[in-house]
Amino acid sequence: MTDRHGLQGGSVSKEAEPLLRSRSARVVLLVLAAVLTTGFLALGTWQVYRLQWKLALIERVEQRVHAAPVQAPGSDRWPQVTAASDEYRHVTVRGRLDYRASVLTQATTELGAGFWLLTPVRDEDGNNVFVNRGFVTAQTAARLREALADKEAGPVLSEPLAIDGLLRISEPGGGFLRENDPAADRWHSRDIAAIAQARGLTRVAPYFVDAAAATPVPADPLLQDAEPPVGGLTVIAFHNNHLVYALTWYALALMVVAAAAWMLRGRSGKAGRPTPSPR
């Protein structure tokens, strides 16, 4: 006996099997499309939030860079200094340059490959802030290394001075695929804590300052007649592709919806066609 649902003897009739398979496929397709669409929309929305955060960051940095210089954070504020709250802030460092504690870190700039010349500025309380005095060539760096190699020479300090520049956060570890080698005095990044330890300095700020180009700095007695460091080469650039990423994720979500609708419409059309009976 056959009931009105096409079931005979508790089994699905041959005519009903394609319809059930079609319904199951549609359910699976809808679930998959819903999951993909939700995921793509979430990723796109996250990129929108990242875009808003990046634009706010760029605006804050622009305000800091062009603001009037303020006194660099003192030792009481060192634990609170962070990239979010202080990096690229326009500051002034006061004290004496300790030339014999200088260090060279590798650099690639618009002037070519060479080195950054970092020298600590020591204030009256014995606190030290490393200042990136600027870019020097390999020839100048070699001459400075020769002067620093004289371990018996005493300290050489400048007269009291003030240096304006941009506050930068320490760069621990090393460069890309390269590690700092303190024993060989080879530095690929401006890792202030490691540099201070290698130079035997204590009470050192956890940041350094990129000296501005217009800051007058006395001639370095260790460089003699070599070319002085070139300051003011700080590159302030933020990668901001979040809008492109957001549009890409939203486009993928739209494509999934469109593909699912097309496939469902095609399957619905096939399911609605009568199955020709054999002659």
- Is residue 219 a part of any domain in this protein? no
- Is residue 43 a part of any domain in this protein? yes
In the numeric block, which tokens belong to residue 142?
Answer: 């070699």
* Number of domains observed in the structure of the chain: 2
Q: Supply the DSSP string of 64-80, one letter for each residue.
A: HHHSPPEEPP-TTTGGG
- Is residue 228 a part of any domain in this protein? no
Bridge partners, 204 (sequence order): 128
Tell whether 117 and 170 lie within a shared domain.
yes
Tell whether 202 and 270 lie within a shared domain.
no
Tell whether 168 and 279 lie within a shared domain.
no
- Is residue 82 a part of any domain in this protein? no
Q: Supply the DSSP string of 30-44, one letter for each residue.
A: HHHHHHHHHHHHHHH
Tell whether 199 and 260 lie within a shared domain.
no
pLDDT for the residue numbered 277: 53
Tell whether 152 and 252 lie within a shared domain.
no
Radius of gyration of the chain (CA): 33
What lies within 8 Å, CB to CB, of 228 at 6+ separation is 134, 217, 219, 220
Tell whether 105 and 166 lie within a shared domain.
yes
- Is residue 227 a part of any domain in this protein? no
Range of the domain at 20: 11-68+236-279
The residue whose two tokens read 């400075």 is 144
User: What averages of pLDDT result for each successive group of 10 residues across the chain (279 residues)?
Assistant: 48 57 76 90 91 78 85 95 91 94 92 94 95 93 87 79 94 79 92 95 95 80 83 79 89 90 68 53
Q: Could you say which of 196, 211, 226 is where a domain stops?
A: 211
pLDDT for the residue numbered 272: 52
CA 88 – CA 81 distance, rounded (Å): 12
pLDDT for the residue numbered 9: 47
CA 17 – CA 13 distance, rounded (Å): 7
What lies within 8 Å, CB to CB, of 64 at 6+ separation is 87, 88, 89, 90, 166
Tell whether 94 and 62 lie within a shared domain.
no
